[in-house]
Structure 1
Amino acid sequence: MSFFKKKEDKRENNFENFPPIGGLMVSKMVVDEQIKPRFMYREKRMSPEDSGWRIFTGFEGEEYTDDPSNIGIYNPSTILKIDPSIEDLLFKGIGSVYEKTEDSTEWYKVSDFEMEDDYMVTHKLTENWLIDINNLFERRVEESRDLLYTTGDKSVRIAIWNEEGKSKEAIYAERNQDIENRNQTVSKTLMTFDFSDAEVARLGYMIQEDDNDKSYRVIYGFSIIDRQVLEVAIYFDDEEDLDWAIETWKNIRLVDTVA
């Protein structure tokens, strides 16, 4: 079945099979007056049932939006029936902001909209490690005990384990050998990295991974000290987020390096 046939089927099904991303908080101008949205942003969820999306027509005044009775919570399918153009945008991550000037124009990304939770925070991971990360990232501990930070389209997974009796140099040599010898038929190494300094040895590599819906880049990085390894896997959809991914890895640091 072709991509276009799938899209057509989704229209015929009135979006009832749209993935369960959570409820949308939407101006009642959209639903009651059938005015198509022109401004939408995704903030941190207030509950597991909340998608984080806030959607407006752009015609609401401050007095209107300050009245809670003018905002409703709707299933994505309800709003997609009014405006199918937001379908792909609903998969964008926390921190995303989009706007359009007319119903017939394309959505464009907004970079100067300030969100309440958009600031850097420092989290203590263990007695040895800290991370500086944007507060927009949701944090949870997985069943594997890995720590996950995610906005939906960008994710940071962290695992830490001990290598008893091994020096930083010995662990580095082992990891470096593993990277050089990794199986390229499974996924090709796109880039390798070495950001080592006097205190922490940092090396890693980037590959592309695919699932049923999309392709994305992943950096696997190892931050190494004597007798311990912190492994980070950083996932991102947009190639332009490479600098963000590298900076996030570097922002995982030893507790005693804090000024």
Structure 2
Amino acid sequence: MSLDDIDKPLSKEDETAQTKNGFLALVSKLVFDEKLPVRFMYKTVPAHLNDTGWRMFTGYETPEFLEDEVTNLLPVDVEKMTTLDPSLTELVEYNAGTVWERTPESEGWERVYDFKIPADTVEVEITNDVSEFKH
């Protein structure tokens, strides 16, 4: 990559060339319980081999709802989601770091550039005290 390439927008081919792994997305329970469409989605780094990294939401989730991921986010086959909503088909090809939304009044999906994708927090203790290492 040269300095001239830094400011060039990536082509769709570059945006979808990432190695594909997994088949599951985490999807808000509201999509199924309330029969609401997916209106906001992002792709994070996959959490495990079956995970695509896609997280799909209706836009009506509260912070409290999102805190209880185990109860409120369901692992769903991405293919099932694209069958339920064919507009997702092209979007799920994009790489990690991609964010999309569609507002109720919009015609289609729009790329979002100012959303910070949440990262899993990992607590690590660092010490230089040799006596704290276990054998």
- TM > 0.5 fold call: yes
* 1:87 is aligned to 2:79: no
Contact 1:98/1:107 (<8 A) preserved = yes
Gaps of 5+ in 2: 1-19, 120-135
Amino acid at match of 2:117: M
Going from structure 1 to structure 2, the CA distance change for 1:43 and 1:49 (only over 3 Å counts) comes to same
Written as runs of structure 1 = structure 2, the 5 A alignment for 1:3-82 is: 21-68=22-69, 69-82=71-84
Going from structure 1 to structure 2, the CA distance change for 1:103 and 1:71 (only over 3 Å counts) comes to farther
Normalised to the residue count of structure 1, the TM-score between the two structures is 0.36
Structure with the higher strand share, 1 or 2: 1
Contact 1:42/1:53 (<8 A) preserved = yes
Higher relative contact order (Cα pairs below 8 Å, separated by 6+ residues): 2
Contact 1:99/1:109 (<8 A) preserved = yes
Moved more, 46-55 or 26-35: 26-35
Question: 1:34 and 1:45 mapped to 2: Cα distance?
Answer: 26
Task: Mark the structure with the bigger radius of gyration.
Answer: 1
Aligned length, in residue pairs: 99
Supply the RMSD in Å over aligned alpha carbons.
1.9
Moved over 4 A (4+): none
Secondary structure of 1:85 counterpart:
helix
Going from structure 1 to structure 2, the CA distance change for 1:95 and 1:102 (only over 3 Å counts) comes to same
CA offsets per residue over residues 8-40 of structure 1, 9 Å max, x none? xxxxxxxxxxx9742000001112222110000
Question: 2:43 and 2:24 mapped to 1: Cα distance?
Answer: 12
CA offsets per residue over residues 164-211 of structure 1, 9 Å max, x none? xxxxxxxxxxxxxxxxxxxxxxxxxxxxxxxxxxxxxxxxxxxxxxxx
Gaps of 5+ in 1: 1-18, 118-259
Q: Which residue does 2:110 correspond to in 1?
A: 108
Shift of 1:92: 0.5
Contact 2:21/2:51 (<8 A) preserved = no
Identity of aligned residues (%): 34
Written as runs of structure 1 = structure 2, the 5 A alignment for 1:129-168 is: none
Question: 2:113 and 2:35 mapped to 1: Cα distance?
Answer: 28
Going from structure 1 to structure 2, the CA distance change for 1:108 and 1:63 (only over 3 Å counts) comes to same
Q: Which residue does 2:101 correspond to in 1?
A: 99
CA offsets per residue over residues 68-121 of structure 1, 9 Å max, x none? 20110000122223211111000000000000101762100000011245xxxx
Question: 1:73 and 1:32 mapped to 2: Cα distance?
Answer: 14
Going from structure 1 to structure 2, the CA distance change for 1:78 and 1:103 (only over 3 Å counts) comes to farther
Normalised to the residue count of structure 2, the TM-score between the two structures is 0.67
Going from structure 1 to structure 2, the CA distance change for 1:93 and 1:103 (only over 3 Å counts) comes to farther
